């Protein structure tokens, strides 16, 4: 059986977070088609317009995920998988580390301060404070000379402790 493309983690997270179907979903569907996932609803989603009714787009996205057998019942695991995906992008320098941290902080707040996301919020705040000055109070031992390596090391450790399921 073929494995879905990596950005599927983002789409599943968007679904559990009740995000609107936007260009991210459509681009994902196009990429899934390119990867060989030529199914009825993936094709429809890839050809959808952002001008379509959001209710219909949501239903279409749900059908596409269902026909691919991609469930999203375990909200915490879906978010952890998305964090895994974002960290991977940051470590490969496909996105800025701060961007990954800000996305994870936003989800941390949105989910009512889920404890497994707490450190991302702290690291984000520490990085932002050190960008503006020499002091931060969020991460013990982090300063302007080592914040990037502290974040890198935490990311690597987090990936090892939180495998994708």
For residues 80 and 133, which has the higher predicted lDDT (pLDDT)?
A: 80
Quote the pLDDT of residue 164.
84
CA 82 to CA 9: how far, in whole Å?
5
Q: What is the mean pLDDT of residues 111-121?
A: 95
41 or 132, greater pLDDT: 41
Give the C-alpha distances (Å, rounded to integers) separating 36 from 1, 62, 80. 11, 19, 26
The pLDDT of residue 47 is above 80: yes
* 46 within 8 A of 29, measured Cβ to Cβ: yes
Q: What is residue 1's predicted lDDT score, i.e. its pLDDT?
A: 60
What integer is the mean pLDDT of 94-98? 97
Average pLDDT over the chain, rounded to whole?
95
Q: How far apart are the first and last CA of the chain?
A: 16
pTM of the model: 0.93
- pLDDT grade, residue 2 (50/70/90)? confident
Neighbour tally for 88: CB within 10 Å: 17
- Give the whole-number percent of the chain exceeding pLDDT 90: 92
Per-residue model confidence as pLDDT tens digits over 13-36? 999 999 999 999 999 999 999 999
Q: Give yes or no for residue 160 having a pLDDT over 80.
A: yes
Q: What is the average pLDDT across 76-85?
A: 96
pLDDT for res 77: 95
- Which has the closest alpha carbon to 82: 138, 30, 24, 23? 24
The pLDDT confidence band at residue 134, using thresholds 50, 70 and 90, is confident
- The domain limits of the chain are 8-67, 75-161
Rounded Cα distance between 156 and 80, Å, is: 14
State the alpha helices, DSSP H only, in 53-96: 54-67, 75-91
């Amino acid at each position: 059986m073929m494995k879905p493309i990596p950005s599927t983690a983002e789409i599943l997270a968007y679904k559990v977070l009740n995000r609107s179907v936007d260009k991210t979903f459509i681009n994902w569907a196009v990429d899934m088609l390119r990867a060989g996932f030529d199914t009825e609803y993936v094709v429809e989603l890839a050809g959808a317009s952002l001008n379509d009714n959001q209710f219909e787009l949501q239903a279409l996205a749900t059908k596409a995920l269902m026909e691919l057998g991609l469930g999203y019942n375990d909200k915490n695991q879906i978010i952890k998988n998305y964090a895994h995906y974002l960290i991977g992008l940051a470590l490969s320098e496909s996105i800025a580390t701060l961007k990954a941290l800000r996305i994870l902080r936003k989800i941390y707040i949105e989910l009512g301060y889920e404890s497994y996301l707490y450190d991302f919020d702290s690291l984000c705040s520490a990085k932002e404070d050190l960008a503006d000055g020499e002091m931060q109070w969020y991460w013990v031992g982090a300063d302007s000379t080592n914040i990037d390596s502290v974040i890198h090391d935490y990311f690597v450790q987090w990936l090892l402790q939180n495998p994708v399921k």
